[in-house]
Each structure stands twice: as structure tokens, then as C-alpha cells.
Amino acid sequence: MKKNLHPERVECTITCACGNSFKTLSNKKEHFVETCSKCSPAFTGKDTKVARTGRAEEFKKKYNLN
């Protein structure tokens, strides 16, 4: 086996822009992310693209199509 092939894994603190943080293992001590499972629309169910209804009606109204 080759020695010193992989970087050393240390306990890492991941911090989100929303303020949420959690610990995991990584080769760095800290990571910063923009979205996490607590603030991402995909995880929270507040995704505006999925929740919207009446898109065809909005399009017709915008361009005066009847």
C-alpha cells in the first residue's frame, strides 16, 4: 500500500448562509454553503415553481390572449 495517498480526514463544521450549522468529516476544518436542508426550497416544500398554478392563465393575461 502507498503511504500518504489520501488527505487526512478531520471533523468539519459546515455553516450555511441561513445560520444553520452541523458537523461531519472532511479534509478541511470548515465549509460554508449558500443553502442547506433547512433553507432550500427543494427540502422545505416551498418551491415556488412547483407550488404555482394557473400558469397558462397568467401567460394569456400578460399578452392579452383570449
| Grid cell 449558500 in the structure block, residue | 34
Contact of 30 with 53, CB cutoff 8 Å: no
- Rounded Cα distance between 44 and 16, Å, is 15
* Residue range 2-47, pLDDT digits in tens: 888 888 999 999 999 989 999 999 999 999 999 888 888 777 777 6
Could you tell me which CATH class the domain 10-62 is placed in?
few secondary structures
Kindly report, residue by residue over 46-63, the tens digit of the pLDDT: 765 555 667 788 888 888
- Domain ranges in the chain are 10-62
